[in-house]
Structure 1
Amino acid sequence: NELFFKELNIPQPAINFNLQHASANQFIGMAADALQEYFSKEKDAVVFVYGDTNTTLAAAIAAKRVNIPLIHFEAGVRTNDTGMPEEINRLLTDRLADINYCCTQKNLHQLTAEGYGTAIASTPVLTGDLMLDAFLQIEPGQLDHKLPPEYVVCTIHRAANLQSKKNLGNIIEGLNALHKAIAVVMPVHPHTKNKIEAYGLSPNFTTLPPLGYPQMKKLLQHCSYVITDSGGTSREAYFMQKKSLIMMDKPFWPEIIDAGCAVQTNTDDILKNSSLLEALNPDFTTAIFGNGKAAQNIHLHLKKYFDINR
């Protein structure tokens, strides 16, 4: 996290609660309590939450407990799988928010179909994706690692792919097999690294330490395609006009698959489904995530919204 603050010139947080917890539920409760106390001291405040993390939900709960306007960005994403912690966080945060900003038309349609803006007194708005704004503004960095002339980028971090030796073993086995045909390069998340070592798995492909955002953009810039279980990386691959293989049973952004830019895969079908990417006829011109002006759209809407609701 410190790397991102430094490289992207992000101001340090005003406060760090340093919460210690044993479970996700404990963390959400403790974070909500701490944030509620902090928010209660603020006057004329607005709480802006992003995405679907446990912190997102904790802040949403805290904001509503002290009656502070709540704005949720990246709203309306649905997998219809409440076995995923992210799905629970999204559903609850969307429901609590006064304004729900949506990255895609599909997200907006989802919320309106659920009654947002009519039966549910929350305003859904299509803005485009802030991640695209950042992607367009941040230049690729320099890599300290020599790369092969042709390679595939892979990222793995999702709990569903790490929670058993079988799942992660299938992934490593598939990547090892793919590496014989085309080089595989994987920046390794610390938790993923720990699991690989704990399960006694042996990657035969190139592994890198975690990369900063500019370095990751550089890595994506020159790759042949991307294999990932990350909603963020699958979007970045789309922004970079790279095909991707998405290792999720229910991808967060099916719009990318619908545009012919990605293929969904299970953990035991990586090698087979990688070959399907060659047959894709991707359409990267559909502007699924907007035009890189999400921040401007949000600013204009917020100004109008609070002028009306003063």
Structure 2
Amino acid sequence: MLCVVGARPNFMKIAPVMRALREAPEPVRVRLVHTGQHYDEAMKDAFFRQLGLPEPDVDLGVGSASHAVQTAQIMERFEPVLEREDPACVVVVGDVNSTLACALVAAKAGRAVAHVEAGLRSFDRTMPEEVNRVLTDQVADLLFCTEPRAVENLRGEGIEEGRIHLVGNVMIDTLLRHRELAVPPARTLARHGVDPAVIEGAEGYILLTLHRPANVDDPAVLRRLIKTVRGISDAVPVVFPVHPRTAARIEAAGLGDLMGARRIVRLPPLGYLETLGLMAEARLVMTDSGGMQEETTALGVPCITLRENTERPITVEQGTNRIVGSDPNRILAAVDHVLANGAQGRVPQLWDGRAAERIRDVLVSWLNGRAG
């Protein structure tokens, strides 16, 4: 069986699946392919080490490029690997370009495809991830869903019932396994030359992440968001690990001075355990990340999503997440509400740390049926 990763969110999703397959009563032979889609090699190494993932058996070394070029290069380099390895099944996770590219190559070669985190929909085709999700689900043979709404989406798209499996959320498997290992926020700040006193005290801090094109590619939108965050930081300190792409956009738009507020703590990209520590202890998380919407839900930390939609509606339905877009008035109103009312909400069904075991059971049953 070949498991594919390409970008940082994939690492957290594939780690528990590979572990479960290797620890099965009759262990499944698993090989790991890293497409190299994520270009930060130092961060890749940190994530592999922290999550206990083995070094990739194959690294395609694709690197950063446009969506079309990157997808094409992954397909071209993955095809000979597929022919050489001849797996019974290719397991892809999430919604990045690597997910779709390897699923297409496998499907065209007549190999089975399993999609972990299937059925999530934002219903916004301007998002590249949405296109990747929809197309991957159409070619997948086994579709593993995190929430009931995803199952409904797949049924509505004509996916046969026997291909759909509600298993829970592997991201939460990883979170629960590593929660006690999370790096304390003060240690993370000190490691990067920041006085922990900036975030210490009864008021706590807000954790911010930004990377979606809709938020960072338009200088006007980015300026509006940064100005809003600067205003919020007057009341509560904001810790901001800056994605490399976002950092480039901030500099290109000449917004560096706005980031100079004493209570905006700018950090470089962080490893999983550092991010988990900051997220778990935050008074509030502001993000445009899909994964963080889920992780904050599991942690019981309030989340404000800086997007107009979400492919993870269960985080809103359970009461932990608020969708506000990039409008300053909506953002400020949501922040005021959360700071006044604190954490609310519930953890969804099957987000219990055992999703990978359920995926393993389905895959092993499928393999046995195929052998029979």
Residue range with higher mean Cα deviation, 197-206 or 90-99: 197-206
Pair 1:105-2:164 in alignment: no
Query: Which is richer in helix?
Result: 2
Please tell me the residue identity of whatever aligns with 2:171: M
Q: Paired residue for 1:229, among 283, 288, 292?
A: 288
Please tell me the residue identity of whatever aligns with 1:133: D
Quote the residue 2:208 is aligned against: 154
Q: Contact (CA 8 Å) 2:137, 2:143: kept in 1 or not?
A: yes
Per-residue deviation at 1:283? 2.1
Alpha-carbon separation, structure 2, partners of 1:83 and 1:263: 21
Please tell me the residue identity of whatever aligns with 2:183: G
Per-residue deviation at 1:279? 4.9
Please tell me the residue identity of whatever aligns with 2:271: G
What SS does structure 2 have at the residue aligned with 1:234? helix
Please tell me the residue identity of whatever aligns with 1:283: G
What SS does structure 1 have at the residue aligned with 2:207? strand
Q: Contact (CA 8 Å) 1:263, 1:273: kept in 2 or not?
A: yes
Please tell me the residue identity of whatever aligns with 1:154: L
Q: Which structure 1 residue ranges, 4+ long, deviate > 4 Å from structure 2?
A: none
Quote the residue 2:169 is aligned against: 129
Quote the residue 2:33 is aligned against: none
Q: 1:303 to 1:22 in 2, by over 3 A?
A: closer
Alpha-carbon separation, structure 1, partners of 2:87 and 2:317: 42
Gaps of 5+ in 2: 1-43, 190-195
Alignment of 1:157-176 (within 5 A): 157-176=211-230
Q: Paired residue for 1:87, among 130, 150, 157?
A: 130
What SS does structure 2 have at the residue aligned with 1:185? strand
Quote the residue 2:356 is aligned against: 295
Q: Contact (CA 8 Å) 2:301, 2:343: kept in 1 or not?
A: no
Gaps of 5+ in 1: none
Alpha-carbon separation, structure 1, partners of 2:163 and 2:156: 13
Q: Contact (CA 8 Å) 2:296, 2:320: kept in 1 or not?
A: no
Per-residue deviation at 1:144? 3.3
Per-residue deviation at 1:49? 0.2
Q: Paired residue for 2:250, among 196, 213, 220?
A: 196
Residue range with higher mean Cα deviation, 142-151 or 127-136: 142-151
Please tell me the residue identity of whatever aligns with 2:174: A
Quote the residue 2:115 is aligned against: 72
Q: Contact (CA 8 Å) 1:255, 1:288: kept in 2 or not?
A: no
What SS does structure 1 have at the residue aligned with 2:231? helix
What SS does structure 1 have at the residue aligned with 2:188? coil
Please tell me the residue identity of whatever aligns with 1:140: A
Q: 1:156 to 1:281 in 2, by over 3 A?
A: closer
Pair 1:272-2:333 in alignment: yes
Q: Contact (CA 8 Å) 1:19, 1:30: kept in 2 or not?
A: yes
Alpha-carbon separation, structure 2, partners of 1:29 and 1:294: 32
What TM-score, normalized by structure 1, do the two folds share?
0.93
Residue range with higher mean Cα deviation, 19-28 or 86-95: 19-28
Quote the residue 2:3 is aligned against: none
Q: Contact (CA 8 Å) 1:260, 1:280: kept in 2 or not?
A: no
Per-residue deviation at 1:208? 1.4
Alpha-carbon separation, structure 1, partners of 2:370 and 2:96: 29
Per-residue deviation at 1:224? 0.6
Alpha-carbon separation, structure 2, partners of 1:20 and 1:55: 11
Quote the residue 1:306 is aligned against: 367
Q: Contact (CA 8 Å) 2:206, 2:285: kept in 1 or not?
A: yes
Q: 1:182 to 1:26 in 2, by over 3 A?
A: same
Per-residue deviation at 1:181? 1.1
Quote the residue 1:238 is aligned against: 297
Q: Contact (CA 8 Å) 2:219, 2:253: kept in 1 or not?
A: yes
Q: Contact (CA 8 Å) 1:46, 1:68: kept in 2 or not?
A: yes
Q: 1:239 to 1:263 in 2, by over 3 A?
A: same
Quote the residue 2:273 is aligned against: 214
Residue range with higher mean Cα deviation, 151-160 or 250-259: 250-259
Q: Paired residue for 2:344, among 276, 279, 282?
A: 282
Quote the residue 2:182 is aligned against: 140
Q: How many residues align?
A: 306
Per-residue deviation at 1:299? 0.9
Alpha-carbon separation, structure 2, partners of 1:132 and 1:246: 19
